[in-house]
Amino acid sequence: MADLTLSSDGSMASTALPQLAIAPAQVVRGAGILATAGEAISRLGKRPLIVGGDRTLALVQPQIASIATNFELAISQATYGADCSEASLGDLRQAVSSHQADLVIGIGGGKALDAAKLLAYQCRVPVVTVPTSAATCAAWTALSNVYSEQGAFLYDVALPTCPNLLLLDYDLIQLAPQRTLVAGIGDALAKWYEASVSSGHLDQTLIIAAVQQARVLRDLLLQKSVAALQAPGSQVWREVVDASVLLAGVIGGLGGAQCRTVAAHAVHNGLTHLLQSHGTLHGEKVAYGILVQLRLEEMVQNNWLAATSRQQLLKFYGEIGLPQSLADLGLMDITLAELARSAEVSCRPGSDIHHLPFEIHADQLMAAMVSTIAPISEPKSAASREADRADLAIQPSSE
Ligand SMILES: [Zn+2]
């Protein structure tokens, strides 16, 4: 992760940021609230630039048009292109300056929101986030992921503040494919499996709070996700949306830079370097990455708890439709060379995979990546190992 300051040409330089960025200044949530958010938006700016994908921009056109009329806003729109990349950020900065925008409104999924947040920071204007799916907590966090033009993960950027306003409109979220909420559940689950490994031993108050909230978040998701997915728009569905979009964001905010991601996201980052992985969502790859991380703990540390957690998650993934294996991610036909390339990216110096409490090499990671659905065998007790040896000793020779 790069903490940043901005130079006059829009490029970024690393520096330490001592401040906390825990939560958006204002969160408004409810069914259909986007249409009624004109006043909150107009307090932040009069010339907003809306950043989104083509599909999303068409979707919210009626609400945006009525807000513009009622609150006398001069609105311009720009698409973020295929990804939150340095090139598309350059184009968006041009759009900000030619519109003389005094506010950025990001509407869309994680990539649109990441682009909007980073753009607003670079242009020193406030930002509103309007998530159109529950696939990530990007609407909440002070973090943007930057990708290559080809969609490969490059680096993430820590922003000094969370968004000025988050508008969580359940009606918009409900229009998104169910699969996006499933992916959001996968991404949110990772908070516990990663935070407990990277930060479970730390004794700072806010980190302890973040790790404990991550456990609560996991439990909520394990308990409520199946019911939520069966009843989109229901109260339990909203609770799971809140968990994936808001509570996951709270944990990122409380934990900050010290509550880091570990192998689950590192595996995701490696997979994005395979073109064949681009058909799956961030949270789907991360969910698979959790299984890989548990498998690593199992293989390298003989960690029995990790093995049972993996079995518990495999059952849960089966119930809600998260990928359990490379095959489920559509990566059944990748070559060994491609698997190695993905693993090498995940293991390169500075990768979050090195927050694991043991050293890890790409070949070990490859072994874990192809064995996420392997059954576990009961660990043998000393007594039964002794009995095995006794059996061997009395085996008659077959020769
Ligand atoms: Zn994530």
pLDDT band at 257 (very low <50, low <70, confident <90, very high): confident
- Determine if the pTM surpasses 0.85: yes
Quickly name the fold that domain 20-176 has. Answer: Rossmann fold (3.40.50)
Q: What are phi and psi of 3, to 5 degrees?
A: -75, 150
Q: Within 10 A of 275 (CB to CB), how many other CB atoms are there?
A: 12
**Segments making up each domain of the chain, as ranges:** 20-176, 179-369
Question: What's the pLDDT score for residue 81?
Answer: 82
Q: What is the mean pLDDT of residues 194-212?
A: 94
Q: Where are the beta strands (DSSP E) in 148-202?
A: 153-158, 165-169
Rounded Cα distance between 217 and 224, Å, is 11
Measured in angstroms, how far is the CA atom of residue 4 from the centroid of ligand 1? 20
Rounded Cα distance between 149 and 84, Å, is 8
Measured in angstroms, how far is the CA atom of residue 235 from the centroid of ligand 1? 25
Measured in angstroms, how far is the CA atom of residue 84 from the centroid of ligand 1? 15
Measured in angstroms, how far is the CA atom of residue 187 from the centroid of ligand 1? 5
Q: What is the mean pLDDT of residues 277-305?
A: 96
Measured in angstroms, how far is the CA atom of residue 137 from the centroid of ligand 1? 8
Q: Is 382's pLDDT higher than 70? A: no
Measured in angstroms, how far is the CA atom of residue 265 from the centroid of ligand 1? 6
Task: List 168's β-bridge partners, or say none.
Answer: 29
Q: What is the mean pLDDT of residues 48-60?
A: 90
Q: Is 72's pLDDT higher than 90? A: yes
For 84-134, what is each residue's pLDDT tens digit?
999 999 999 999 999 999 999 999 999 999 999 999 999 999 999 999 999
Measured in angstroms, how far is the CA atom of residue 196 from the centroid of ligand 1? 15
Residue that wins the pLDDT comparison between 126 and 393 = 126
For 333-343, what is each residue's pLDDT tens digit?
999 999 999 99
Question: What's the pLDDT score for residue 392?
Answer: 54
Q: Where are the beta strands (DSSP E) in the chain?
A: 2-3, 5-6, 12-13, 26-30, 48-52, 76-79, 103-108, 127-131, 143-147, 153-158, 165-169
20-176 and 179-369: identical CATH topology:
no
Measured in angstroms, how far is the CA atom of residue 282 from the centroid of ligand 1? 6
Measured in angstroms, how far is the CA atom of residue 386 from the centroid of ligand 1? 46
Measured in angstroms, how far is the CA atom of residue 276 from the centroid of ligand 1? 19
Rounded Cα distance between 323 and 388, Å, is 37
Question: Contact at 8 Å (CB) between 265 and 205?
Answer: no
Question: What's the pLDDT score for residue 373?
Answer: 98
Measured in angstroms, how far is the CA atom of residue 283 from the centroid of ligand 1? 6
Measured in angstroms, how far is the CA atom of residue 146 from the centroid of ligand 1? 13
pLDDT band at 6 (very low <50, low <70, confident <90, very high): very low
For 341-362, what is each residue's pLDDT tens digit?
999 999 999 999 999 999 999 9
Q: What token pair was written down for 390?
A: 């006794």
Q: Is 217's pLDDT higher than 50? A: yes
Question: What's the pLDDT score for residue 326?
Answer: 98
Q: What is the mean pLDDT of residues 31-37?
A: 96
Q: Is 385's pLDDT higher than 90? A: no
One-letter identity of residue 312: Q
Question: What's the pLDDT score for residue 92?
Answer: 97
Measured in angstroms, how far is the CA atom of residue 17 from the centroid of ligand 1? 22
Q: Is 183's pLDDT higher than 80? A: yes
For 308-331, what is each residue's pLDDT tens digit?
999 999 999 999 999 999 999 999
pLDDT band at 244 (very low <50, low <70, confident <90, very high): very high
Instruction: Please tell me the class of the 179-369 domain.
Output: mainly alpha
Report the chain's mean pLDDT, rounded to a whole number.
91
